Structures are given as structure tokens and as C-alpha cells.
């Protein structure tokens, strides 16, 4: 049975994007960020494609995400950096991560202590990367904590508990390539690496550059060897531009479709859906699509999006409901029938709207559009680009 709502992920596009990012990062290696279920695209299958296309390592936010990849058969290096545990359970959780060969990003002294204890208890070396705050003022060791943090890690390394493999940070303004804080954060990270080396540590990897930094290629942020020798792109892996309006040659990997549930003729003056926010100016036909805000179609998009059916675009009308929305097929005899497939967004190559179009209409960013899909949206993975025509499962009576 064909799902009523489906997000098709094109792995040809994923591979293209990773190769482009690898080329832009070279000679630095790529850590492909697959947090939030690979930005909604499916972590395990995307990991396989990203690694085959040239990514050296996978990055995720949480250990739950890292464990899912390991359980899915991903054996490549994985780093996870966002931890929020009760101190009483942290040692056990970190011990499981160490046993699974997951590199642990650490941001606090309590995390360093828990990781070291977990490693000693398990009699297994913990591989860690030190996250330092260079100006984002979010996660990571603050500048005033660097000296002590690296000294503590050096002691843990000498005790045979940890291996400090990396030092990394995150940019606040990479989507504004010329903004002064980018260079300031790069200088701060270089300084943090100097602190690490002064403490007797020898980190193998130093990474700062995210998708916009990689694609705008400021050398000081991407691959200033020997200091910065890895990059950490996220949204660009999925073909979405990290700078709205800039075309970097990426191919959007996701196409969101929904099957037409019914068509209905209405008359001039008829109101549509809750509140009758839309009133038909003339006789027209509506199509109902079984997707709503419970599936990630934002209420803020009501009356602001279009769908493509049979190669023609039709406007959404009325409110976005929990599990359905309506589109206006216009006057005359409609060519759309029950069971036809509507393309809500895709790469745009067949005239359909894109995630960027939705982001502009909703006043948000393309990251949110793809990561918010949920509920009854089923993922489908393909490994060769399929035209929208092949995504249409037209019902013929």
C-alpha cells in the first residue's frame, strides 16, 4: 500500500552533496552531522551513503542517536556532544558509550570526571573531544575554564582513562561569512588548542567549520592546517543552502508528497474549513490532502503554500488542520482525481515548491521545515533521482 503521506529521500543527492562538501573541505576531513534523525532524512541509511561518498566520521548530538547508528550497523567513528544526565546515571551511560566505541564530546568538568570514572570502571580507554566555547556562549568550556579542563584531561590521559582525540567549537555567525566574530572564534579555538598542547595533550582533530563556513571557504575556518583539519557540515549534507538565497550547487534530497483523499465541488460564497478563513470567490473544486500540523505542516503556512499535482501548482486554502489541508483546483472540470499524488515540496527541479519556499512563507529556516516532519509521514529511500512524474501514483478508475 502506498503511504498517504511520504517523504522520499534521494541518496543520489546526499552522495552528491557529501562529495561537494568533501571537495570544499579538502584536505580537511568531513564529519557529517546526522543529528535529529539526519535532519529528518533517516539516520542509518543516510550514514551509509555519507560514508560511502567520502565522509570520514559521523557527528550526532545525543548518545541515543549514536546508539541508534551503532545498532543499525554503522561501524565508522561517531562523535556525540550533547549530554544531559543525572550525575548518578552519567557513569553508566558513558560506560555504555565507551563500550560502543563512541567518541564523547565533553563540555563540563563533571562530564570529564564521569567519563574518566566510566573508563576506569570498564577498563577501556575513552576517546573524547573537548568542546570549548569561543563566543557562541552556549555549550562548551568557557575561556576561564580552559586551563583547568585541559589539565584535568591530561591527568586522566596519564592515568590511562581517556584519549583526547579532538578539540572543537561552534560558530555563531557563519551564515554571515564576513562577520567579525568568525575570525575571532577561529583565533580563540587556535588559542584553546595551544592550551591543550601546553598541558601535554596532542589532539588529532580540530574542527570549527559548519555548512556555511565550508561552502564560503574562509581558509581560517575550514582547513588551516595543521590547526583545523576537520569540518562538521550539517544541513548542506541534505542539499539545503545554509545561507538563504545562495546557490552552492547542492541538491535537496527530500521530496514531500501526499495522496489526494477526495475532491469536492463548492460554490461561490462557500467558506472552507475552520473559521471560514477562505471564502470561494467563484464556483471551484477543492482537493483534500491527509497532512496537517500533526505531521509537521505548520499552521503558519495556511494560505501561503502551493502544491504540484500533475505538473500544475495549486494554492492551499483555509486553515492547516491537525491532519488535513485543502487546496483550490480552480473552476472548470478538474484534472485531479482521488488517489493522485500532490508534491508539497522537493528540489524544485520540476516546478514544485522547495523547503526554502516554505521557510520564507512561514518566517523560519529550511532546517526547521525538514526536521519538523513527523506523525504519519513515512520515509522512503531511493538511490537514483526520480522525476516528480515517477512519484505520482495516479489512481485510475
Active site residues: 35, 274
Dist CA 322 CA 112 (whole Å): 44
Query: How many whole angstroms separate alpha carbon 82 and alpha carbon 282?
Result: 54
Per-position b or e across 336-350, b if 16+ CB within 10 A of its CB = bbebbbbbbbbbeee
C-alpha to C-alpha distance for 40 and 372, rounded to whole angstroms: 7
Binding site for substrate: which residues?
138, 322
Runs of H (alpha helix) within the chain:
11-25, 35-39, 43-52, 63-71, 87-99, 109-122, 146-158, 180-198, 211-216, 219-222, 355-362, 366-371, 388-391
Residue keyed to cell 558513558: 94
Sign of the C-alpha dihedral computed for residues 212, 233, 37 and 205 taken in this order:
negative
Residue list, annotated binding site: 138, 322
DSSP string, 226-271: TT--EE---GGGGT--SSTT---S----EEEEEE--EEEEE-TT-E
Angle, alpha carbons 87-91-94 (nearest 5°): 120
C-alpha to C-alpha distance for 226 and 229, rounded to whole angstroms: 6
Distance CA 30, CA 11 (A): 18
Helix axes 87-99, 109-122, angle to 10 degrees: 50
Distance CA 162, CA 127 (A): 6
Spatial distance between the Cα atoms of 293 and 167, rounded to a whole number of angstroms: 40
Amino acid at each position: 500500500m502506498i503511504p498517504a503521506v511520504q517523504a522520499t529521500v534521494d541518496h543520489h543527492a546526499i552522495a552528491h552533496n557529501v562529495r561537494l562538501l568533501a571537495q570544499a573541505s579538502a584536505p580537511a576531513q568531513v564529519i557529517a552531522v546526522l543529528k535529529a534523525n539526519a535532519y529528518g532524512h533517516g539516520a542509518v541509511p543516510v550514514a551509509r551513503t555519507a560514508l560511502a561518498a567520502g565522509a570520514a566520521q559521523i557527528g550526532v548530538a545525543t548518545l541515543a542517536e549514536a546508539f541508534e547508528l551503532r545498532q543499525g550497523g554503522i561501524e565508522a567513528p561517531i562523535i556525540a556532544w550533547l549530554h544531559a544526565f543525572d550525575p548518578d546515571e552519567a557513569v553508566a551511560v558513558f560506560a555504555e558509550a565507551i563500550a560502543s566505541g563512541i567518541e564523547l564530546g565533553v563540555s563540563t568538568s563533571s562530564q570529564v570526571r564521569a567519563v574518566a570514572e566510566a573508563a576506569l570502571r570498564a577498563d577501556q580507554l575513552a576517546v573524547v573531544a573537548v568542546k570549548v566555547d569561543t563566543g557562541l556562549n552556549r555549550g562548551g568550556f568557557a575561556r576561564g575554564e580552559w586551563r583547568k579542563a585541559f589539565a584535568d584531561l591530561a591527568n586522566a590521559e596519564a592515568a590511562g582513562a581517556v584519549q583526547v582525540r579532538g578539540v572543537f567549537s561552534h560558530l555563531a555567525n557563519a551564515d554571515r561569512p564576513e562577520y567579525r566574530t568568525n575570525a575571532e572564534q577561529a583565533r580563540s579555538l587556535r588559542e584553546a588548542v595551544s592550551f591543550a598542547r601546553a598541558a601535554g595533550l596532542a589532539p588529532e582533530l580540530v574542527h570549527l567549520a559548519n555548512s556555511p563556513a565550508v561552502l564560503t571557504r574562509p581558509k581560517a575556518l575550514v582547513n588551516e592546517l595543521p590547526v583545523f583539519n576537520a569540518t562538521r557540515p550539517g544541513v548542506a549534507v541534505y542539499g539545503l543552502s545554509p545561507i538563504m538565497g545562495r546557490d552552492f550547487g547542492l541538491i535537496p534530497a527530500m521530496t514531500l508528497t501526499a495522496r489526494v483523499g477526495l475532491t469536492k465541488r463548492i460554490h461561490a460564497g462557500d467558506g472552507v474549513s475552520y473559521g471560514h478563513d477562505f471564502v470561494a470567490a467563484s464556483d471551484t473544486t477543492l482537493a483534500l490532502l491527509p497532512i496537517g500540523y500533526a505531521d509537521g505542516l505548520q499552521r503558519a503556512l495556511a494560505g501561503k503554500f502551493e502544491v504540484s499535482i500533475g505538473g500544475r501548482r495549486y494554492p492551499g486554502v483555509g486553515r492547516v488542520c491537525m491532519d488535513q489541508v485543502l487546496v483550490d483546483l480552480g473552476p472548470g472540470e478538474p484534472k485531479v482525481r482521488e488517489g493522485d499524488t500532490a508534491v508539497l515540496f522537493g528540489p524544485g527541479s520540476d516546478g514544485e515548491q522547495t523547503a526554502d519556499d516554505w521557510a520564507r512563507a512561514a518566517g523560519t529556516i529550511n532546517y526547521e521545515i525538514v526536521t519538523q516532519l513527523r506523525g504519519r509521514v513515512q520515509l522512503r529511500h531511493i538511490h537514483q533521482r526520480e522525476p516528480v512524474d515517477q512519484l505520482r501514483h495516479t489512481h485510475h478508475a
